[in-house]
């Protein structure tokens, strides 16, 4: 499923950025993070692929600067390894006023 996000289990979603440019990928990642935080989804896997590294760099920049992210790490090899990142989402209710 390229270019979208889907529920894969209770509290878990996957975003697939294959075939997207940086702008579209960034918009989708922000949308998925906010939806997860709002809906109580605690885990998000973002599949950016290995390619040139442009999407990986964009994703990591967004994650480092998002208040919706509690933490993140490169996925395990069986889950995509260097081509994916696993994110622990901070629920919207835990973020302080004015944080978005």
Sign of the torsion angle spanned by Cα atoms 74, 16, 78, 83: negative
The full set of domains in the chain, from first to last, is 4-92 (3.30.1370.110)
Q: Per residue, what are the HEC states of 7-56?
A: EEECCEEEEECCCCCHHHHHHHHHHHHHHHHHHCCCEEEEECCCCCCHHH
Confidence (pTM) = 0.86
Asked if 59 and 46 touch (Cβ cutoff 8 Å), the reply is yes
Asked if 26 and 5 touch (Cβ cutoff 8 Å), the reply is no
List the pLDDT tens digit at each of the 100 positions of the chain: 455 777 787 788 999 999 899 999 999 999 999 989 888 889 999 999 998 999 999 999 999 999 999 999 999 999 999 999 999 999 877 655 444 4
């Amino acid at each position: 499923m390229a270019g979208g996000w889907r529920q894969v289990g209770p509290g878990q979603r996957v975003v697939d950025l294959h075939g997207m440019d940086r702008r579209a990928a960034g918009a989708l990642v922000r949308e998925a993070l906010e939806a997860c935080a709002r809906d109580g989804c605690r885990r998000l896997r973002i599949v950016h692929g290995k390619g040139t590294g442009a999407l990986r760099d964009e994703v990591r920049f967004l994650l480092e600067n998002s208040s919706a992210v509690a933490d993140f790490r490169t996925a395990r090899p069986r889950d995509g390894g260097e081509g994916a990142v696993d994110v622990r989402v901070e629920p919207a209710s835990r973020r302080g006023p004015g944080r978005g």
